[in-house]
Structure 1
Amino acid sequence: MNDTVSSAATAVLVQNWRGRHTVPAGGLYPHQWSWDSAFIAIGLRHISPRRAQQELDSLFSAQWDDGRLPQIVFDPARDDYSPGAAFWRSDRIPGSPGVPTAGLVQPPNHAWATLLVHQADPVESRRRRFLERAYPRLVAWHQYLYTRRRSLASGLAAVVHPWESGMDNSPYWDAPLENVAGSFGQDIPRPDLEHADATERPSNREYDKYLYIAATYRDANCDDSDAACPFRVEDPAFNALWARSELALSVIADELGRVPVYDHQERSKEIALALETLWDENLGIYVARDGITGDTQKYRTVSGLVPLLLPGIGHGDELDALLRGPHFGLGESRLVPSHDLLAPTFDASRYWRGPSWFNTAWLLVEALNTRGAAADGQALAASMAELAGRNDFPEYVDPHTGEPHGTRLFSWTAALSLDLQVRQIEGK
């Protein structure tokens, strides 16, 4: 275990704690983000299981009446993020909580994180009735996805904005965004460029589409009807995390001794089976599909590798071979890139179009462990720790050189590096 990295990671999480939750980074991201908090809680459980529980409780307290967990819970004292609380005006939308939030969501990794936090200190968790509070919230969240976002034709949940995928600027979104006819038509506020170079971030043209789609959704009271959603894409990572979290919900229900509202294991199997409709035989990977046109997005991205998390996923061997080959270079690149190293659209420094991220590296460590490749998982975890510690816990890095990009002192980089370091010494 690298004690220096673990100590530094702990310091980042302490610095970014805001009393009830952790911000992703103090400058660029001053609010609470949904899937960030789940990843952060996974690291916090090694410092303070109670604080990790508070992290998730804080997010659950902002749940909407329809079950959605919002992408962002805004700090009312901060107005230096765009689009912020003034853009979303969530207090005017029926069913929103009593705190300002975005209307969008993010990938459903929360039940998995909740289970891991409980397992870090079951006695304290039971004393505080953590799972008893969390379970109905999580069921409502998953039911929202099943009833409001799932396509009856495919069985998969759709994201209605690139931001919902968590992989905002992926090549997956290029064609679906081009198919969106509208324009925001106003000045594009870009406070993000005060913290990162323009070459590392989405372009103004992309932001115009982002804000148009978000405004359209907001103005329809964040309804999930076709009219409110000019963008609707089925993403493999989003659905794989949903399936993985259903497995966690099954364990939580057993721990509580409850008869579940529905069979979580069967739901996970249904999602995994539906994911097979996203398999691209020529590319050897799962791809995204435009839910409006039906067109698949023929790119190899890290999102298409995330289904490796699921035990018994179809095409697991082919996906494993792709991960180790020249397109993703496991063991050759510093971390696994977010996009195909050989693709003409690869960009080593631009947001989700090539750089390596620490949360997807963590997911792939978990996938490798699931597949019995613990040595490869340990090697990837060691690379994470080395790059994180050497570069002040960056948001993402160049997959070839390890050069840091984005903001620094990034919370999930610290949390997930800490998690793997602690588990390595514990042999877990």
Structure 2
Amino acid sequence: MNPTLDRPAPQHAAPLTLRGAAARVLIDNWTGASTVPSRTLYPHQWSWDSAFIAVGLRHLSARRAQQELESLLAAQWADGRLPHIVFNPAVPDGAYFPSPDFWRSSRAGRAAGAPADPETSGVVQPPVHALAAWLVHRADREESRRRGFLARVRPRLGAWHDYLLDRRDLGGGGLAAAVHPWEPGMDNSPCWDRPLQRVDPVPRGDYRRADLDHGQPADRPTDMDYGRYVRLATDYRDAGYDDRSARHAFAVEDPAFNALLIASERAMAAMAEESGADGSRHTARADALTGRLVARLWDETAGVFRARDLAADALIEENSVSGLIPLLEPRLPRHVAHRLLQTLSGPRFTAPGTCLPPSYDLTGHAYDPQRYWRGPAWFNTAWLIHRALRAHGRDQDAARLRRGFLREAERSDFAEYVDSATGAARGARRFSWTAALTLDLLCADPEEPTS
């Protein structure tokens, strides 16, 4: 049996050439246990990448999609965290930085419960995993039940959420905090410029940027920013990855990170009920998180959610796509959802060169149409907003975004992201989550519930 095709894919009126090309990317980027984001720039397993990849893989192979998530969960730490990178020991250390010999997870993270094997990073990424697991289960319930998929992943996903709601409630307001710009996933966002000013960068000569071997400097974070990333990761490592004792020079509550936690808590409730258990605990947590998100991060004047800098205990006055992702929550207060939809369709997030929402306010002072997360349009955030539009009954807007997404994915050769001003491909090509989410938009049942 071919493991890439061990379950028949749904038949829909989709362009087979685009579907086949997307499937080819995922097959080519498969390592035997998981899928790399890119064969060049990202040669290991990344946390939220694998979640998005599993969403697309479910249309090719339910078993493969389950394995994608299970391989990531197998690297979970005893304290519940899911590390943002799981390292492939067959890849040389010099192929990516920071590499395993920098993170030293099995030694520096021992007290926090890092596994002896495999080596991982010590930071995390947004908690989209339970949502992905629920969608994977729904794709082939028979196969999921036969393999005991939910029974295996639910406890691990529950521990992951508990970690975020306990050890990462650094602001005391009930939201999960990120302690490194890599954790919200939008690494180089202008939202982090002011908090990062407090961080003394590691000198450029003290480390080697492997990302510039495969990416253009104009597309990537500056040396100054990268030096600050390295400093934060070094300090966290040297504190044993202990969230309570570490001195967090950078600590923020990010709207997208917490919105994805809400969506995943609702997915956990659905998984519990599917398994014959009581899902009310997860529903209550999702409802409480929604209230806290609005109370702590909503900016009524700006019409967008904003990140909170915990050191200053103040909202960061930058508008990014992260502040639109809470539209995923169908139970937002009506006036908040209405204002967000206005912002999404207004001049700040309507790009001239693509239908995909830009990563940063087009009118903002730090807008750059091609530099990493400072203006380019990304396919994973577009997929989330497509889902959010459907959750709020904006089916025509969702259909328009879907058409634009598929067009940009095809003409960019499944690029990592695109220039928001011109639509030109940027970053890596044949990028796994772009291919996976293309498959999902081509193949998913349009009536599939979004919550």
Correspondence for 2:169: 150
Partner of 1:273: 291
Tell me if 1:348 matches 2:369: yes
Q: Greater CA deviation, 331-340 or 377-386?
A: 331-340
| 8 Å CA contact retained: 1:331, 1:380 | no
User: Per-residue deviation at 1:293?
Assistant: 1.5
Q: Which amino acid aligns with 1:177?
A: L
**Take 1:184 and 1:53, find their aligned partners in 2: how far apart are those partners?**
42
Q: State the partner residue of 1:227.
A: 246
| Residues in 1 aligned to 2:266 and 2:396: alpha-carbon distance in whole angstroms | 25
8 A contact 1:188–1:207 mirrored in 2: no
Contact 1:184 1:209 in 2 (8 A): no
Q: Is residue 352–residue 420 contact of structure 2 (8 Å, CA) maintained in 1?
A: no
Alignment of 1:21-420 (within 5 A): 21-78=34-91, 79=93, 80-92=95-107, 93-94=109-110, 95-97=113-115, 98-151=117-170, 153-181=172-200, 183=202, 186-225=205-244, 227-259=246-278, 263-276=281-294, 277-314=296-333, 315-329=336-350, 333-420=354-441
Identity %: 51
Q: CA deviation at 1:186?
A: 4.7
Q: Distance in 1 between matches of 2:185 and 2:126?
A: 7
Does the CA-based 8 Å contact 2:169-2:177 persist in structure 1? yes
Aligned CA distance change for structure 1 residues 379 and 330 (closer, same or farther; 3 Å): farther
Aligned to 1:6: 19
What per-residue deviation string (whole Å, max 9, x for no partner) do you get for residues 167-188 of structure 1?
Answer: 0000111011001246467523
Amino acid at match of 1:45: R
Report how far residue 281 of structure 1 moved. Answer: 2.3
- How far 1:375 sits from its partner (Å)? 1.6
CA offset at residue 374 of structure 1?
1.2
Confirm or deny: 8 A CA contact 1:381 1:417 kept in the other structure: no
| Alignment coverage as a number of residue pairs | 426
Shift of 1:404: 0.5
Helix, strand or coil: the match of 1:228? coil
Per-residue CA shift, 1:24-45, capped at 9, x if unaligned?
0000000000000000000000
Contact 2:354 2:404 in 1 (8 A): no
- The change in CA–CA distance for 1:427 and 1:182 in structure 2 (over 3 A counts) is closer
- State the SS of the aligned residue for 2:444: helix
CA distance in 2, matches of 1:153, 1:45: 38
Residue type at the aligned position of 1:272:
T
2:9: which partner in 1?
Answer: none
Question: Secondary structure of the residue that 1:106 maps to in structure 2?
Answer: coil
Supply the distance in 2 between the matched residues of 1:389 and 1:181 (Cα, whole angstroms). Answer: 42
2:235, 2:312 → 1: CA distance?
19
> Does structure 1 conserve the Cα–Cα contact (< 8 Å) formed by 2:354 and 2:408?
no
Point out where structure 1 has 5 or more consecutive residues left out of the alignment.
Answer: none
Partner SS for 1:386: helix
Structure 1 residue 2: Cα displacement: 2.0
CA apart distance, 1:283: 1.4
User: How large is the Cα RMSD of the aligned pairs?
Assistant: 1.5
What SS is found at the alignment partner of 2:71? helix
> Which stretch of structure 1 is more off in the superposition, 87-96 or 327-336?
327-336
- TM-fit CA distance, 1:113: 0.2
Q: Give the TM-score, by structure 2 length.
A: 0.92
Q: Give the direction of change, closer, same or farther, for the CA distance of 1:366–1:21 in structure 2 (3 Å limit).
A: same
Cα distance in 2 for residues equivalent to 1:332 and 1:319: 22
Deviations 1:78-129 (A, max 9, x none): 1210001010111102111121000100000000000000000000000000
Q: Report the Cα offset of residue 3 of structure 1.
A: 1.6
Q: Is residue 22–residue 37 contact of structure 1 (8 Å, CA) maintained in 2?
A: yes
Counterpart amino acid of 1:164?
E
- Contact persistence 2:201–2:229 (CA under 8 A): no
Question: Deviation of residue 334 (structure 1)?
Answer: 2.8
Counterparts of 1:225 and 1:181, CA distance in 2:
21
Could you list the per-position Cα deviations for residues 242-287 of structure 1 after superposition, in whole angstroms to 9, with x for gaps in the alignment?
A: 0110000000001111245x70011011111111121112211100
CA offsets, 1:301-345, max 9 Å, x none?
A: 000000000012131100000000111017984311000111121
Contact 1:323 1:329 in 2 (8 A): yes
Distance (whole Å) between structure 2 residues aligned to residue 87 and residue 207 of structure 1: 15
Separation of aligned partners in 2, 1:271 and 1:366: 19
Q: Is there any run of 5+ residues in structure 2 with no aligned partner, and where?
A: 1-13
Q: Does the 8 Å contact 2:352/2:421 carry over to 1?
A: no
User: Is contact 2:353-2:422 (8 Å) kept?
Assistant: no
User: C-alpha separation between the residues in 1 aligned to 2:200 and 2:105?
Assistant: 25
Of 239-248 and 266-275, more deviation after overlay is shown by 266-275
